[in-house]
Amino acid sequence: MSFRDVPKVELHLHLEGAAPPAFIRALAKEKKADIGGIFDAQGNYAYDGFDEFLKVYEAATSVLTTPEDYARLTRVVLEECAEQGVIYAETFLSPDFCGGGDVKAWWEYCAAMAEAAESAEKDLGITLKGIITCIRHFGPEKARAPAVCAAETVGDFITGFGMAGAETVGKPGDYAWAFDCAREAGLRLTCHAGEWGGAQMVRDTLDQLPGIERIGHGVGAAHDGALMERLARENITLEVCPGSNIALGVFRYWRDHPIEKLRENGIPVTVSTDDPPFFHTTMTQEYDKLNEVFGWNEEDFAALNQDAIAAAFCDEKTREDIVKRLKA
């Protein structure tokens, strides 16, 4: 059974992480950049473990050097999302990779991506919003520039701010300046936590960064009953990416994945792909696996997508439109 035609909402998707390897290879060839070492014999991204994944990710990203490259990437990614039945997506965008954190350069990258998103909305029927992310392993000082970029471009397209990267670096509170800056500018907040850092990292993130509404991954919370109660009570949505967790070795087998437990504990869970070509997944495959392993059916997916759009960082008119399309 395939759930390809179920209309879907995806909240956790890194734009560079969604770049098809063939797209990156073609750009590398155009620019005569040597990044051959990041692909395997089949042409897929090759890495062993999370640290190497981050290195390969950054090497692939290094060939994206102009606003036009990002416009093309946005188009390619949205075509693939639409193919998977996604009608609303949010994507993580990193000014560190788009103009090195320079606000003037970022304006141009941002405008190019917003324009590509607008044209995809017209001809593919998919809506995209952008969440600016700082990169945790670049350190707290480097997190300030993306927050300023976010504050400068908050609007119809840029609606959120968050943090990705290696959770092992620093404490969430070290990044408070960036999150305060983004929150004060009216951006909605999410943060990767509890992918690797366990329940304590999820708790520290909520305690040290006021205003966080969603947690990227958050699967470490499943070991901690009191924390699960808190997430449910405070209506903190988890952006769960099961296929990513399996591919990176957070869990060995799908049946070990805690998404069902988190849902049973009343936490709003959503499903996303994170970096689909890196993890050999698609939104349809995630749904097919959830059906096969946990027996989730069309009704479960309808409820899942209603929870996702309820937690989306979009304006109310967009939310109403997507709610209607999910029900149609």
Active-site residue list: 195
**What are the beta bridge partners of residue 130?**
91, 158
Query: Least separation, in Å, of the C-beta of 192 and ligand ADE?
Result: 5
The owner of tokens 């970022």 is 106
Q: Which is nearer to ligand ADE, 166 or 185 (CB)?
A: 166
14 near ligand ADE, rule: CB under 6 A: yes
The label of the residue with tokens 């209309």 reads 7
Nearer to Zn ion, 147 or 250 (CB): 250
* CB nearer to ligand ADE: pick between 99 and 165: 165
Classify 304 as helix, strand or coil. helix
Closest CA to 239 of 184, 194, 188: 194
Which listed option, Zn ion, ligand ADE, none, makes contact with residue 165 (CB within 5 to 8 Å by class)?
ligand ADE
Binding-site member from 195, 239, 286, 307 for ligand ADE (CB under 6 A): 195
Nearer to ligand ADE, 126 or 250 (CB): 250
- The stretches of 136-239 forming alpha helices (DSSP H) are 144-153, 176-184, 198-208, 225-233
Residue 244 contact among Zn ion, ligand ADE, none, beta carbon within 5 to 8 Å by kind: ligand ADE
- Least separation in angstroms between residue 92's CB and ligand ADE is 7
Identify the burial level of 234 via C-beta atoms within 10 angstroms of its C-beta, where 0-12 means exposed, 13-18 middle and 19 or more buried: exposed
Q: 229: which 2 tokens?
A: 């109660």
Binding residue (CB under 6 A) for ligand ADE from 239, 275, 286, 307: 275
Cβ nearer to ligand ADE, comparing 165 with 277: 165
127, 118 contact by CB (below 8 A): no
Interface with ligand ADE (CB under 6 A), residue from 85, 99, 162, 165: 165
Which one of Zn ion, ligand ADE, none is in contact with 101 (Cβ closer than 5 to 8 A by kind)? none
Q: How many other C-beta atoms can be found within 10 angstroms of the C-beta atom of residue 294? A: 16
CB atoms within 10 A of CB 272: 28
* Min CB(170)–Zn ion separation in Å: 17
Q: Distances in Å between the alpha carbon of 231 and those of 171, 270, 323?
A: 20, 14, 24
* Residue found under tokens 């320079």: 102
Q: How far is the CB of 14 from ligand ADE (least distance, A)?
A: 4
Q: Is 218 in the site for ligand ADE (CB under 6 A)?
A: no
Task: Please report, as ranges, the residues that interact with ligand ADE according to CB under 6 A.
Answer: 14, 17, 57, 164-165, 192, 195, 244, 274-275
